Every structure is written in structure tokens, then in C-alpha cells.
Amino acid sequence: MTFKSEIVFVRILLPFIIGICCAYNFQNDLLITLSLTLCVILLVYLIAVNNFYKKLKAYNFKGVTGIIFYFFCFVLGGLVCLLNTQSLKEEYHANRSFDYLKVWVNDEPQQTNDIVRFEVVVTTGYKFNRPETLSGKLLIALKVDSLNPVKLKYGDELIVSSKNLPVEPSYNPSEFDFKAWLATKNIYHQTFINQNHLVKLNSNKSNPIIKYAIEVRKRQVEIYRKLIHNDEAFAVASTLVLGYRADLSKETLAAYSKTGTIHALSVSGMHVGIIYIFLNWALFFLDKKRLLKIFKLLLISFLIWYYSLLTGFSPSVLRSAIMLTVYILAKAFNKNSNSYNILAFTAFCLLLYNPFLIWDVGFQLSFLAVFGLIYLQPKIYKWFYIKNKWLDKLWATVALSLAAQIATFPLSIYYFHQFPLYFIFSNLFILLPLTAMMYLGIGILMLRLYFLAPIFEWIINFTNSGLKWIANLPFSGITSIWLNQWQLILLSFTLIIFTIALVNYKKKLLIVSLLCILVFQSFAAYYKISASKQQKILFFSLRKNYAAAFIEGNEAVLLTDLDGSNKNYDFFVKPALDQMQITNIHFVKWEQDTALKSFIKKEHQLVFHQYHILLLDDDFNYKKIDQLPKFESVWLHQNPRKNVLDLRNEVLFSTLLVDATNKDYMIKRYEQDANKFQLQSHILKKNNSYLIDLKVFK
């Protein structure tokens, strides 16, 4: 039986998290004062009740005090979130305009081709050469000089031109919301500058501990680079052991993702646990005396935190480090510890330090996985009693994998849109190689056992090949699973009720869960049937390219200059088509005439069912369109020299479409002319995509 006193942080955590979420969604600087005042009043009340419990006869209103305690936790969560929101501070750098900003680099710069991206902390703003103290973060995309590129590192202080802009939202359906993701990192503005708009100062503002960790990790990565010859093996080794995000190929990432072993490429609790097991075994000779045993546990704690520092303090590593430290200290002083309370205490500490972690996918999945291991694994393990020692160990491992997968199932589908069917086999396959890779990788770096590098590299290549083979097996996974938030809530609720019903043998709850599954499946079937009957046109909003999908059922004709291997296609276009359950795509270019079922494109005219589009490009420059043809839309492409007034006199149409292949000044001119003549226009650059449902259009 679990007593309330054993799970104090479990009781605190839920209202604390709800408070963070509410404050995040209703951010306002006035709420800071209100939250702070409420916190002080409620805290004074709780302290008074605790100190004068008998005099006040507080036992007569325990229920009210309990509600006030939970409300205090709720308000505290909101206050912590608001105090950590940089954009609400008066000195936030984007509240006023400046000529220049003094900043310092707050992470390791990442270079892709000639663009270097890095996060900075703003400290000073200059207006007419007058300095002003500022705060807040900024994301910088720097175009470096290919002949003489600037070398930047963590802590470098810089002077940059102040041209920061708000981070753009997502414009296309199901596109990754970069703005929301950066907001969870407390970044709301970004800037794009050339190298000549940056001055590197000789000063350094880095945190000495983090700077030391980054420098040590760089040296360790260089050791791997010299010893491991295969680029893919090097990338896996650096990511797996050190948390250094090297460039992994799409094929390898897909193999780990499709087999449900992507956690192996993220330094997490599993990695910290492996290190703990090894250290606990290697230091067995310190178990003889109590003082030596305490020294051993403290040494293990120190080494785990040192490893966490080297891997960049990811949420999953922090969670594991805190949990193991509490567990080790409790073990050292013979204190009974409740696993749920330790887990909740860990989450509370992390969220108190950085409340924005609550939106970190790794943070969410990590805690859910551990909860699954604590709650579900013992119950799943009891399903079967196996006498054979080795088969019993195998079943315990399977139960471990099942527990983690069940606990993270709804969120994994929601975020990654796929479910690996062979996850048990994959996790069993990777268990021994992963353990060997961790021990060999750390041994090579810490003990300088360089002669083990060929074995280390071979194991990595063997593991990669094995996972790719599993990923390519028939029916290896279900892909393109898209859930909205209501479906996620329904699926999570169903899973919780189903689990409780099975664990406690509750028939009524089992029936409720089965009914919920039926409702969920009904929604899924409805969306699938609707998708098979859809007739839509979707014009995508892109930066320099053009793309329009002409959708009928589960097929689409994609008029675009992108191809399936293009990163812009993967980022902006593919997610929307996947969500709309498109299984067959025909790529067509602007210059290409095509006739496919209900889609006909010929001589700059496009017909899809009853919808007609005139494709207007520079071929129409200085030419007059005769006979007053009728179209639903005119699509302007690559800066046609045709003003809107002439176009209205020569063509009957209702909607003007302007894609991103047009120059910015031309786009502005088209938009102004369309507004002048009260013409409906859609600018397909830095604006939302344009969707036409032909069934509604009829």
C-alpha cells in the first residue's frame, strides 16, 4: 500500500504542469504580478496552517487546505513559466529598434553548406552609439565567406546588425511548426545576415563548465574521427556515445526509426543505466566497508553527472542522472524510496529549472517510458512463469520493451506518424550490440584502448546492416498515421482505461475501453473513407519554388519543380500529402503537357474536373489574350510582364494566384493591383497555403 506521504511530488506535479501550460497559452506581463501576489498569499496561509495547526483546529478544514495547496502548486507553475518567458521582460531586445546588438554564442554553431546557424544571448543594444542593457535569445543564420570563413565557438562575443524578425509560422498543412518549436526554447526572433555584418570581439562570455564540456567533447569526437574510417559508423559512434549530432544518412535514420530503436541514437536513460551497471560492477571491491561503499556511490554519481555534462545535458540524460542520484543516495543511507515519487521529483526539478521542457518531445517520451517500466513491466513479466534461467531473462527483456512501447505508443504515433511492428525483435537484436558499443566507445576514449577501434567500428556496421534488413522486411511498420489532438486524447484515455482494467480485473472498465477503441476506429474509418472520395486542389506556400497538388481519392498530380529527394519537398509538401493519405503521386513540371484521368495540362491551360486555371508566365509577355476566355484562377509564374488591369480586360477570372518564383517587388505589385480592383488574390510566399475543396466548390 502506498501512503500519500510517499508520493508528495506525484501530488504536486500534476497541478504544477497544468499551471505551466495555462500560463504558456495565456502569456501576459500582468499575469506575473497577479501570480506572484497569489503565490505569496497562498504560501503565507499554508505556512500559518502548518505552524499553528492545533490552535487553528486546521483538521476541521483539511479538505479546503488541500485544495488551496493544489491551487498554490498550479499558480507556482504558472509563475515559473511566466518568469522564464523572455519576451515578457521589459528589456527584451525586440521591444525596441537598435542599430547594432552585442550578443554571445550560446551553443555550438552548426554549418550546412555556406550557412552557419547558432543561438545567441543578447546583452546590449546600440542606438546612435548609446548602449542599453538588453536580454533575450536570438537565432542567427549567418552566410559565411567561402574564401575566408569566420570561425565561431560557444561563448564568442559578437556585434551584429539588428535586423531581427519574428520567426515565421508554418504555412502549409502538417508542416513542422518551427515557430512553435523555437518558442519552447524561449526564442521568438531570428535574423539572416552576411559575414560582413558581423564583428567578432576578443571577449568570451561562456559558462566555464559548459565550455569545458564542449571542448572535451570536441577532442573526443576528433579521436573517433581518426580511428573510425567509415563515415556512417563515425556518425553513429559520435551520436550514440557523446550525443554529438553528426550527419547521419537518411537511410540509417530511417532504419532506426522504422524498427523502433531510434532511442539508441539519442543519449538517454538507457545509456546512463548501462554506465551505472558497469561502474557498479567495476567498483565492487569498495563494497567491503560502509564508508567505502558510500564513497563508491558518490563516485558513481559524480561520474554519471560528468558524462551527462559531456553529452550536452539533454532532458533524458538529466532525468536519468537525477533519478539515479536520488536512488544512489537513498541506497547509501538505507532510505526506502518510492519509484513514482523519484520520477515525479525529477520532473519537478527539471521543470522548475526550465518549464519549457514540458514541450520537449524527448522529455515527454523519456518520462512516459520510465513510467511504463515502473508500472507496466512487473505486471507484464508476471504473465508467464518460465523456469529456464536464460529464457526467463529473455522474457524479462521482452516485457521491458513492451512496457516502454505501450507507455509511449500514443505520443510516438502522434509525433512520428508510424508504428514499428517488429519493435520487440529489433530491441532484442540491438540490446547486446548497444551495450558492447557503449562499453567499447567509452573504453576507447577514457582508457585510450585504441586497438579496440576496428571491433567497435565492425559492431556499429553490423548493427546498422541488421536494422536496415529488419526495416526492409515485409510489413515492418505502419506508416503515415496522422492523429489530431482529439484523437491523441481519445487514444491515450483508451489505453489508460484498458491498462487499469487489465491490471485490476475490472470488467466494466474493460467494456468502456473497448467502446472507446470502437469510437476511435470509427473516426479512423471515417477519415479513410473521406480520403478515398476527396477531390481537392492544394497550392503550397514555398520560399522560392512552386507546388500544387491536384488530389483525387488517394492519388495526386503534383505540379512542381521539386522532386521526391528534395529537402523542400520533404519539409513543406510531403507531410500534407501524407496526412491526406495520398499513396500515389505523379510529378509534373510547369513546361510539361500531361493528361491523366481528370487532370489535363496543355498549352498553359490546366483543367482538373470543373476547375480551370490559366498558367501565365513570361511566354505571355507583351502578348494579348484574345476571345475573352473564362477561368476560375490565373496563376502568375516567373514574373510575367502583364499588369492586372490588362489581364482583367482579356480574361474572365475570379482568383489570382502568385507563386514564389516571382520576384518580391513583382509580388508586391501584383498584390497591390489585385487589391485595387477588389480581386481575390493568394500570395504563395510567406502566406498560408490555398486549399480548394471541389466538392464544396460545386
**Three-state SS sequence of 80-140:** HHHHHCHHHCCCEHHHCCCCEEEEEECCCCEEECCEEEEEEEEEEEEECCEEEECECEEEE
Pairing status of strand 605-608 against strand 584-588: unpaired
Give per-residue pLDDT as tens, 125-181.
888 888 888 988 999 988 888 778 888 888 888 998 877 888 888 999 988 888 888
The pLDDT of residue 1 is: 45
The pLDDT of residue 635 is: 93
Closest CA to 400 of 431, 422, 383, 377: 377
Please, are residues 684 and 544 in contact by the beta-carbon 8 Å criterion?
no
Task: Name the stretches of the chain with pLDDT < 70.
Answer: 1-6, 53, 56, 58-59, 246-247, 267-270, 312-316, 330-337, 697-698
The pLDDT of residue 5 is: 60
493 phi and psi, to 5 degrees?
-60, -45
Closest CA to 338 of 325, 322, 327, 348: 327
Integer Cα distance of 334 and 345 in angstroms: 19
Name the β-bridge partners of 120. Answer: 105, 138
The pLDDT of residue 246 is: 63
CB burial of residue 343 (10 Å; 0-12, 13-18, 19+): buried
Please, are residues 27 and 85 in contact by the beta-carbon 8 Å criterion?
yes
Angstrom distances, CA of residue 107 to CA of 241, 306, 460? 19, 19, 28
**Is the C-alpha dihedral spanning 491, 492, 495, 501 positive or negative?**
negative
Integer Cα distance of 588 and 582 in angstroms: 16
Angstrom distances, CA of residue 486 to CA of 145, 402, 497, 656? 48, 25, 16, 35
- 435: its cell numbers: 551495450
Residue 338's CB: how many other CB atoms inside 10 A?
Answer: 19
Please, are residues 259 and 422 in contact by the beta-carbon 8 Å criterion?
yes
The pLDDT of residue 620 is: 85
- 483: its cell numbers: 492523429
